[in-house]
Amino acid sequence: MPPLNLGNHQPQTPLNADQAWRATAPRAAETVLFFDFDGTLAPVDDDPTAVQPAPKVLAAIQALAPAVQRVAIVSARPVDFLRDHFGGLPGVDLYGLYGLEHSHSGGETVTEPAALPWVPTMAELAELARAELPPGTLTEYKRLSVALHY
């Protein structure tokens, strides 16, 4: 298989999983894989609290983690949510709230210090949204962000 994106050209066709791994495997020890939670590792659902990783995702990540330099799961959700779903997987980093929080390989959750002054503002915004938005709107308070689902 020829090198990928040689000369920074667009690939002619998308690679399937086997082709992508064959192209990556020789450099696996230097490879970092980033996966988004919603819509990639888990289906999008009307109830964001009920979403679970797709079948076989945990096994696939568990197999990938020791084969590459690092696996990271990135999400708009808090690290605690991600930890509930992936916390038992060794060698997996979790990045939550658009990167404002992170946990490396099961360690403690670290919050970006510059974001902390915004916690009261986000709590106030969530309260206002719950009080003023029409019925049927779900306000999801995430400490450092607020998501509105309708």
Active-site positions? Answer: 36
**Contact indicator for 32, 72 with CB cutoff of 8 Å:** yes
The answer to whether 83 touches 103, Cβ cutoff 8 Å, is yes
Residues β-bridged to residue 71: 33, 92
Q: How many residues does this entry show for the chain?
A: 150
Cα–Cα dist 75/108, whole Å:
17
Bridge partners for 149 per DSSP: 138
